């Protein structure tokens, strides 16, 4: 018999509406061990399914199934295979993509990315961190994909929040710690154990190709990281400049450019300062990409975040030549698609530059959006034509 978590009426309604999380304020649970598999019931004791429990997170319950689960590790192994099969059907033009995207693959708390012959794994919850579960994950990935190496990427803050003992990032299988991969025919390095964030922003992969389709002339990739957009733009642009505040990211960007035989200028700078200087000195571009980090990490800093997006977009719009292309992104879940449209629209009015929408895009298909779980729908990417 599994321990039982009873939900408040509000908690149960959340599940009935399609979500898979229940917050601590909506449950009653006593003495349940961290990370346990639990039965979930509504306030009258009616069974709602099976979940993984966290004793420390505000998200206390993450649903696994509306049925009862007898063998947790078997279920996890089955779902990993299903996630891999799904990618085989939907992913193209790359050997780097997300294999498991947590809730969106019915494996809450687990993220797995593939970089050609290597896998990078992240464990985000007590439930997924339990030894039998970890072992099942690693064994199944290894059996199905036979990677040269599996690395674990640890976010110390996540472990602290989940009250899990500290752990270092490192190899779980094999000895190889770097490789090269390709997206849309463009090549990149992957060094698993170095850098600020190891790996690429795979969720932008299809947006790189879309941006490249419309890009031309002189291009500026702002918040370029390791050059994802810049390297794609280079195929169709006469000159490309990438800007980022992180020197290590730009060093990798430069290696990536060499790998592709591209000549790109990389500038280490604060994007806000650089855009201010460049726009006031009258610099002009034909294509600008804005892909800042998530400014709104929570609802609390939404106002500041919106101001940040507005400023960036306003300056970029002013610098575009007539007929220019603006590719503008937001990966803040708290800034919804409507909010983002409004911000970019108001920047366009202030800049006196009518803007037409060419494409409204989200994350690549290997980062599925699960209907009912709005948090899985976080990335917005607008491709705009600026008159």
Q: Which residue is nearest to ligand SAH (CB)?
A: 228
244 binds ligand SAH (CB under 6 A): yes
101 binds ligand SAH (CB under 6 A): no
Q: Helix (H) and strand (E) counts for the chain?
A: 11, 20
124 binds ligand SAH (CB under 6 A): no
Tokens for 360, please give them. Answer: 């409204």
User: By rule CB under 6 A, what string of x and - marks binding of each residue 336-375 to ligand SAH?
Assistant: ----------------------------------------
**Could you tell me the smallest distance in angstroms from the CB atom of residue 128 to ligand SAH?**
25
301 binds ligand SAH (CB under 6 A): no
**Could you tell me the smallest distance in angstroms from the CB atom of residue 342 to ligand SAH?**
22
Closest CA to 51 of 68, 35, 38, 32: 38
Residue 109 CA from chain centroid, whole number:
14
Among the candidate windows 231-239, 287-295, 314-322, 368-376, which touches ligand SAH by CB under 6 A? 287-295
Strands 21-23 and 47-53, bridge-based pairing? unpaired
Answer yes or no: 237 catalytic.
no
270 binds ligand SAH (CB under 6 A): yes
Interacting residue with ligand SAH among 107, 137, 249, 351 (CB under 6 A): 249
201 binds ligand SAH (CB under 6 A): yes
Residue from 224, 237, 331, 381 carrying the catalytic annotation:
331
223 binds ligand SAH (CB under 6 A): yes
CA-CA distance, 229 to 203, in Å (whole number)? 12
Closest CA to 253 of 278, 222, 274, 277: 222
293 binds ligand SAH (CB under 6 A): yes
Among the candidate windows 13-21, 145-153, 196-204, 333-341, which touches ligand SAH by CB under 6 A? 196-204
Which residue, 102 or 226, has its beta carbon nearer to ligand SAH? Answer: 226
CA-CA distance, 253 to 230, in Å (whole number)? 9
Are the beta carbons of 325 and 384 closer than 8 angstroms?
yes
383 binds ligand SAH (CB under 6 A): no
Q: Which 22-41 residues touch ligand SAH, going by CB under 6 A? A: none
248 binds ligand SAH (CB under 6 A): no
When computed from its CA atoms, the radius of gyration of the chain, rounded to whole angstroms, is 22
Q: Rounded to 5 degrees, what angle do the CA atoms 131, 132, 133 make?
A: 90
Q: How many residues bind ligand SAH (CB under 6 A)?
A: 19
Interacting residue with ligand SAH among 75, 271, 305, 327 (CB under 6 A): 271
Interacting residue with ligand SAH among 97, 106, 225, 285 (CB under 6 A): 225
245 binds ligand SAH (CB under 6 A): yes
CA-CA distance, 249 to 268, in Å (whole number)? 10
Interacting residue with ligand SAH among 188, 229, 266, 378 (CB under 6 A): 229
CA-CA distance, 170 to 95, in Å (whole number)? 22
- Kindly give, in sequence order, each residue whose CB lies less than 8 Å from that of residue 310, ignoring residues fewer than 6 positions away: 343, 346, 347
Tokens for 260, please give them. Answer: 């592709």
Are the beta carbons of 28 and 9 closer than 8 angstroms?
no
CA-CA distance, 249 to 223, in Å (whole number)? 10
- State the DSSP code for 372: T
Tokens for 195, please give them. Answer: 């850098």
Tokens for 308, please give them. Answer: 């940040």
**Could you tell me the smallest distance in angstroms from the CB atom of residue 294 to ligand SAH?**
9
Catalytic residues: 331
Per CB under 6 A, residues contacting ligand SAH are 200-201, 204, 223-226, 228-229, 244-246, 249, 270-272, 291-293
């Amino acid at each position: 018999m599994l321990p039982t978590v009873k939900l408040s009426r509000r908690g149960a309604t959340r599940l009935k509406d399609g979500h898979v999380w229940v917050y601590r304020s909506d449950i009653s649970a006593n003495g349940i061990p961290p990370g346990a598999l639990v039965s979930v019931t509504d306030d009258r004791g009616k069974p709602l399914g099976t979940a993984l429990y966290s004793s420390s997170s505000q998200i206390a319950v993450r649903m696994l199934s509306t049925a009862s689960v007898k063998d947790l590790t078997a279920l996890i192994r089955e779902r990993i295979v299903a996630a891999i099969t799904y990618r085989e059907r939907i992913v193209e033009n790359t050997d780097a993509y997300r294999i498991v995207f947590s809730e969106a693959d019915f494996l809450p708390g687990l993220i797995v990315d593939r970089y050609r012959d290597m896998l990078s794994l992240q464990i985000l919850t007590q439930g997924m961190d339990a030894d039998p579960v970890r072992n099942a994950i690693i064994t199944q990935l290894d059996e199905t994909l036979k990677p040269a190496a599996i690395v674990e990427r640890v976010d110390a803050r996540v472990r602290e929040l989940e009250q899990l003992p500290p752990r270092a990032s490192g190899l779980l299988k094999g000895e190889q710690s770097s490789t090269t991969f390709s997206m849309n025919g463009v090549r990149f390095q992957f060094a698993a154990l170095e850098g600020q964030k190891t790996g690429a922003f795979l969720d932008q992969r299809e947006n790189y190709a879309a941006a490249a389709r419309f890009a031309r002339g002189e291009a500026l990739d702002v918040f370029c990281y390791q050059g994802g957009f810049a390297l794609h733009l280079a195929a169709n642009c006469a000159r490309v400049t990438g800007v980022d505040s992180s020197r290590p990211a730009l060093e990798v960007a430069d290696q990536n450019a060499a790998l592709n035989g591209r000549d790109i200028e990389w500038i280490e700078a604060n994007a806000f300062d650089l855009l201010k200087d460049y726009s006031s000195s009258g610099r002009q571009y034909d294509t600008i990409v804005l892909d800042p980090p998530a400014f709104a990490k929570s609802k609390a800093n939404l106002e500041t975040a919106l101001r940040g997006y507005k400023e960036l977009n306003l300056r970029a719009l002013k610098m575009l030549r007539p007929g220019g292309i603006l590719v503008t992104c937001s990966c803040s879940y708290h800034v919804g698609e409507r909010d983002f449209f409004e911000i970019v629209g108001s920047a366009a009015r202030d800049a006196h530059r009518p803007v037409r929408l060419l494409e409204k895009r989200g994350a690549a298909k290997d980062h599925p959006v699960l209907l009912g779980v709005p948090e899985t729908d976080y990335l917005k990417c607008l491709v705009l034509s600026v008159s």
